[in-house]
């Protein structure tokens, strides 16, 4: 089975589904893309299809509760990992069936429910739910999952993994540049002329903070288009106060997550805003200042850690749709800022492409670990392989059966 898959990857390419739910937990992202191997290098074809499918409401409530810090016992952890695995597999299979293609391989990141911030006395650890065996059974495809564990086991941060695939995804973007992903957390990949000189690290909270404030004050899942932030005035003193958090003094490589910048952090930010009187005229000043703070974490990171400086900032992730945030990035970073769409990469699909690349590399036994990305030494292949099994209602849909096709 793996020999056939490797032959496809080394030949005309294999159709790979990258699947994930990010720290914003707003749905399941699925991207379908053809991946080809040329020696130890990987190439991406055009994206065949991409969509974000909403969680089933009960499952979403369970995920949201865990991310917001609700107690989660062993039984619920086991059930949630099973149900998320099924949901990820179903999402990949549904998009493939609707598109009229047959997927060869799934790369499933899972749902991060805990990630260290590098400061804990008991060391680094990370946990993603969404068992790969259940993904394989639900999708009918060989699946690679659990990418972060080997990186952590080898001494790395386990994040951001984006730098391990961004040289492939952004192969045509002029160097030097910085690629910023604005999900629940922000992370930067710095691409230079030589692929081996890659650098990556987390910048701090992004949508985890802005969406948390929107839920509290706007009774909405997000500050759509940054409308509230655009109407407000920035309190620069408060921005400086937020930047005094110990994380921002941490050297790279570094990573963080909702255990540091989750709901309790948002609660603390709200209380500090009240103490400064920022709520006297409504929430707009709070959203404006928090948006400026997120941009300031990126600008500060670029200034401290990126030398020589990046010539442009390419932005992907949900935050790219926040106009106020994009403007704040332009004003504070001092370099051109634009959506990854201008570089030919759908900003919403970028992370699904990441896990498609990592899955193909795992199957081909291509080591991608890099000290500049996560701190892990070179030579590690990331991910665990679950061999595929065709679900009963999909039997006979493989090529030669008269149904399905392999896509472009």
Does residue 406 lie within any of the structural domains? no
Q: What share of the chain has pLDDT > 70, as a percent?
A: 95
Task: Give the C-alpha separation, 227 to 232, whole Å.
Answer: 9
Same domain? 112 vs 137 = yes
Same domain? 320 vs 254 = yes
Does residue 78 lie within any of the structural domains? yes
Residue 390: what pLDDT? Answer: 62
Domains in the chain: how many in total? Answer: 2
Sign of CA dihedral 376, 383, 47, 203: negative
Q: Is the pLDDT of residue 403 over 50?
A: no
- Looking up tokens 């805990």 gives 114
Same domain? 124 vs 64 = yes
Q: What's the whole-number average pLDDT of the chain? A: 92
Residue 398: what pLDDT? Answer: 39
pLDDT tens for residues 293-313? 999 999 999 999 999 899 999
Q: Is the pLDDT of residue 392 over 80?
A: no
Does residue 129 lie within any of the structural domains? yes
Does residue 403 lie within any of the structural domains? no
Model confidence at 406, pLDDT cuts 50, 70, 90, reads very low
Residue 351: what pLDDT? Answer: 94
Residue 196: what pLDDT? Answer: 79
Model confidence at 404, pLDDT cuts 50, 70, 90, reads very low
Same domain? 187 vs 258 = yes
Same domain? 50 vs 15 = yes
Same domain? 315 vs 281 = yes
Per DSSP, which regions of 206-349 are E strands? 313-316, 337-339
pLDDT tens for residues 58-74? 999 999 899 888 889 99
Residue 104: what pLDDT? Answer: 97
pLDDT tens for residues 182-196? 999 999 999 998 877
| Residue range(s) defining the domain that contains residue 229 | 173-343
**pTM assigned to the model:** 0.90
Residue 116: what pLDDT? Answer: 87
Q: For every residue of the chain, which 3-state class applies, written as one string?
A: CHHHHHHHHHCCCEEEEEEEECCCCCCEEEEEEEEEEECCEEEEEEEEEEEEECCCHHHHHHHHHHHCCCCCCHHHHHHHHHHHHHHHHHHHHHHHHHHCCCCCEEEEEEEEEEECCCCCCCCCCEEEECCHHHHHHHHCCEEEECHHHHHHHCCCCCCCHHHHCHHHHCCCCCCCEEEEEECCEEEEEEECCCHHHCEEEEEEECHHHHHHHHHHHCCCCCCHHHHHHHHCCCCHHHHHHHCCCHHHHCCCCCCCCHHHHCHHHHHHHHHHHHHCCCCCCCCHHHHHHHHHHHHHHHHHHHHHHCCCCCCCEEEECHHHHCHHHHHHHHHHHCCCEEEHHHHCCCCCCHHHHHHHHHHHHHHCCCCCCCCCCCCCCCCCCCCEEECCCCCHHHCCCCCCCCCCCCCC
Task: Give the C-alpha separation, 352 to 103, whole Å.
Answer: 14
Q: What share of the chain has pLDDT > 90, as a percent?
A: 85
Model confidence at 25, pLDDT cuts 50, 70, 90, reads confident
Same domain? 337 vs 358 = no
DSSP code at position 174: P
Q: Is the pLDDT of residue 399 over 60?
A: no
pLDDT tens for residues 134-179? 999 999 999 999 999 999 999 999 999 999 999 999 999 999 999 9
Same domain? 17 vs 154 = yes
Model confidence at 53, pLDDT cuts 50, 70, 90, reads very high
Does residue 243 lie within any of the structural domains? yes
Can you tell me the mean pLDDT for 200-208? 96
How, if at all, do strands 41-53 and 14-21 pair?
unpaired
Same domain? 306 vs 365 = no
What's 64's domain CATH number? Answer: 3.30.420.40
Q: Is the pLDDT of residue 405 over 70?
A: no
Does residue 90 lie within any of the structural domains? yes
Same domain? 180 vs 138 = no
Query: Which of 76-85, 188-197, 356-365, 375-384 has the lowest average pLDDT?
Result: 188-197
pLDDT tens for residues 225-249? 999 999 999 999 999 999 999 999 9
Does residue 164 lie within any of the structural domains? no
Same domain? 221 vs 313 = yes
Does residue 295 lie within any of the structural domains? yes
Task: Give the C-alpha separation, 191 to 311, whole Å.
Answer: 10
Q: Is the pLDDT of residue 408 over 50?
A: no
Residue 24: what pLDDT? Answer: 67
pLDDT tens for residues 83-137? 999 999 999 999 999 999 999 999 999 999 988 877 777 889 999 999 999 999 9
Same domain? 101 vs 202 = no
Residue 396: what pLDDT? Answer: 36
Q: Is the pLDDT of residue 276 over 70?
A: yes
């Amino acid at each position: 089975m793996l020999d056939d898959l490797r032959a496809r990857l080394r030949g005309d390419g294999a159709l790979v589904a990258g699947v994930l739910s990010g720290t914003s937990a707003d749905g399941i992202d699925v991207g379908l893309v053809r991946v080809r191997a040329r020696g130890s290098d990987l190439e991406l074809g055009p994206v065949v299809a991409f969509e974000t499918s909403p969680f089933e409401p009960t499952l979403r409530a369970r995920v949201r509760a865990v991310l917001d810090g609700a107690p989660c016992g062993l039984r619920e952890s086991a059930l949630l990992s099973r149900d998320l695995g099924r949901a990820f597999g179903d999402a990949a299979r549904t998009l493939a069936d609707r598109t009229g293609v047959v997927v060869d391989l799934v790369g499933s990141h899972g749902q991060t429910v805990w990630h260290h911030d590098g400061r804990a006395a008991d060391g680094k650890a990370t946990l993603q739910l969404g068992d790969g065996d259940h993904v394989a059974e639900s999708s009918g495809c060989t699946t690679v999952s659990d990418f972060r564990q080997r990186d952590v086991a080898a001494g790395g941060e386990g994040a951001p993994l984006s730098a391990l695939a961004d040289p492939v995804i952004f192969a045509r973007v002029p160097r030097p540049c910085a690629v910023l992903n604005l999900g629940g957390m922000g992370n930067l990949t710095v691409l230079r002329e030589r692929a081996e000189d890659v650098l990556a690290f987390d910048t701090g909270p992004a949508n985890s903070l802005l969406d948390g404030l929107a839920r509290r004050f706007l009774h909405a899942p997000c500050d759509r288009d940054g409308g509230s932030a655009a109407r407000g005035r920035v309190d620069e003193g408060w921005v400086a106060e937020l930047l005094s958090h110990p994380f921002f003094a941490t050297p790279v490589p570094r990573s963080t997550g909702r255990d540091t910048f989750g709901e309790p952090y948002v609660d603390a930010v709200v209380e500090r805003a009240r103490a400064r009187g920022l709520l006297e005229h409504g929430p707009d000043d709070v959203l404006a200042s928090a948006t400026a703070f997120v941009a300031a974490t990126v600008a500060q990171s670029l200034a401290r850690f990126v030398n020589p400086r990046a010539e442009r900032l390419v932005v992907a992730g949900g935050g790219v749709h926040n106009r106020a945030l994009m403007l704040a990035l332009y004003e504070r970073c001092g370099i051109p800022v634009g959506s990854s769409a201008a570089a030919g990469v759908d900003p919403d699909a970028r992370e699904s492409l990441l896990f498609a690349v990592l899955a193909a590399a795992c199957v081909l036994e291509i080591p991608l670990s890099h000290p500049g990305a996560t701190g892990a030494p070179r030579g590690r292949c990331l991910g665990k392989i679950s061999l595929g099994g065709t679900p009963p209602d999909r039997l006979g849909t493989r090529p030669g059966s008269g149904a399905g096709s392999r896509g472009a």
